[in-house]
Amino acid sequence: MSKKPMTIFILSREYPPFTIGGISTVTCSLAEGISTLIDGDVVVITNTTEMTNSYELNNNLHIYRVANEDIYTSYSDLSDTVIKSHHRILKGINYLVSKLGRPDIILLPDLFCFPEAKVISKIYKCPIVNILSQDFRKITPYDKNKFHMVSNSISANHYSLFSLEEKSLRMSDYNIFVSNSLSKSINENYDININNQSVIYLGVIPNEMAKLTNDEHIEIRRKLASTKDILFVSCGRLVPVKGMNYLIEAFYLLKKKNSNVKLIIIGIGPELTYLQDMVKKYNLEEHVIFLGNMPREDVLKHFKVADIAVIPSIWESFCYVAAELMGIGKPIICSGVDSLNELIRDNIDGIKVPIYIENEKRTLKPIDIFHGMLRFIEEPNTANRMAESAKKRVQTKFNNDLFVNKVMAICNALLTEKITEVFDDTRR
């Protein structure tokens, strides 16, 4: 794609090294990928937990971090601390405009930055491209109360989330959905314009999938498991829809069958204490390790030293974790749900376990996950074959170059009013 002299602003609360979930990965992949495609500036406006704002410049990639410590460190409702955050980010955007000029396009991978995105869009008459990676109407039924934990210290009532989601869909100039299942779900919930939307899959960055050196592999692995152990890994925010409770129950069944197994769980969230109590209940403290939150680079290293991955989600919009594990070449057991059905073909790229409906909610049966885990242990050739197939699939269909090029095609089309010519992954 030829380079275009434009200025792109990307708004996200999250950007490495500070991460909570997939939004930071999407933002980073967008920023780094697009910065190589255009002659102009790519500007990321994000948060920092430091006391003062900071600014970084890497060639044409600008990263401006707004001091917003309270949003992550003190429990609060969406109505107070987050409003202050919007004002601070808006102030930061205006500062950058004074230094770099008005943006041509605003990319919005983080729904919670929509209010300031809309203000800037009106002031500077630039379009918003909304990159949607969630469906709150599908997530919130699994919350254990009427509030949804947006992050580990910020909650929001369900109505506020639905309202913000709908406003972003209706008031953005273009909507990108990261999977066909998400597009279908959103369009069933909201009557939005079909002419200003498309599906573009997220993608992994190939050089991040490279193997560790032998010394690195040994050093990380020896801290987690013995040479005799089979090491399982799972990763995600510790919230009900990630289904970690089903995995722990399945692992308990596996441990009774095979004592040489370990499980590492990467992530933080409101379910942590509940899951730790489950581990104690099943006497698995020596076999299940909660690693908490860690920088993305370290997460990928732990993926690489594991033997088998499990993704027990009961809802997914895309599942970056699955794509990364596929790209690294790990055998995967996952639920047969939503976008995971688009990423992973059953018994070709991984083992999928069925979803059941009880009281109008999705659920998993730990015995199904157990059988998948046991099968990969007993059939290593099958595990290797599926892992290799998954790796090839990600390389050709779910890589970051495809993602950023298609996003840039939409940006160019919006600026030249040729949006109907943009490729749509729903045609694949």
Domain membership flag for residue 421 = no
Does residue 307 contact residue 231 with C-beta atoms inside 8 Å? yes
59 and 159 part of one domain: yes
The mean pLDDT of the chain is 90
Q: Are residues 213 and 80 in the same domain?
A: no
Looking at the fold, whether 358 and 405 belong to one and the same domain comes out as: no
Other CB atoms within 10 A of residue 98 CB: 9
pLDDT, tens digit, 9 for 90 and up, residues 340-378: 999 999 999 999 999 999 999 999 999 999 999 999 999
Domain annotation covers residue 426: no
Q: Cis before residue 127, ω within 30 degrees of 0?
A: no
pLDDT tens-digit map of 108-165: 999 989 999 999 999 999 999 999 999 999 999 998 887 777 766 567 788 888 999 9
Q: Is residue 307 part of a domain?
A: yes
Q: Is residue 405 part of a domain?
A: yes
Residue 330 within a domain: yes
Domain shared by 371 and 337, yes or no: yes
User: Same domain, yes or no, for 279 and 146?
Assistant: no
Q: What is the pLDDT of residues 167-203, one digit of tens each?
A: 999 999 999 999 999 999 999 999 898 889 999 999 9
Residues 166 and 188 grouped into a single domain: yes
Domain membership of residue 86 (yes or no) is: yes
SS3 374: helix
pLDDT category at 75 given cuts 50, 70, 90 is: very low
Q: Are residues 282 and 152 in the same domain?
A: no
CA–chain centroid gap for 5, Å, is 29
pTM score of the predicted model: 0.91
**What CATH number is associated with residue 196?**
3.40.50.2000
Same domain, 58 and 197: yes
- The whole-angstrom separation of Cα 186 and Cα 176 is 11
In total, how many domains does the chain have? 2
State the Cα torsion 43-49-51-55 to the nearest 10°: -20
Residues 404 and 382 in one domain: no
Query: What whole-number distance in Å separates Cα of residue 128 and Cα of residue 117?
Result: 7
Residue 254 lies in a domain: yes
- Domain of residue 302, residue span: 206-398
Together in a domain, 172 and 218: no
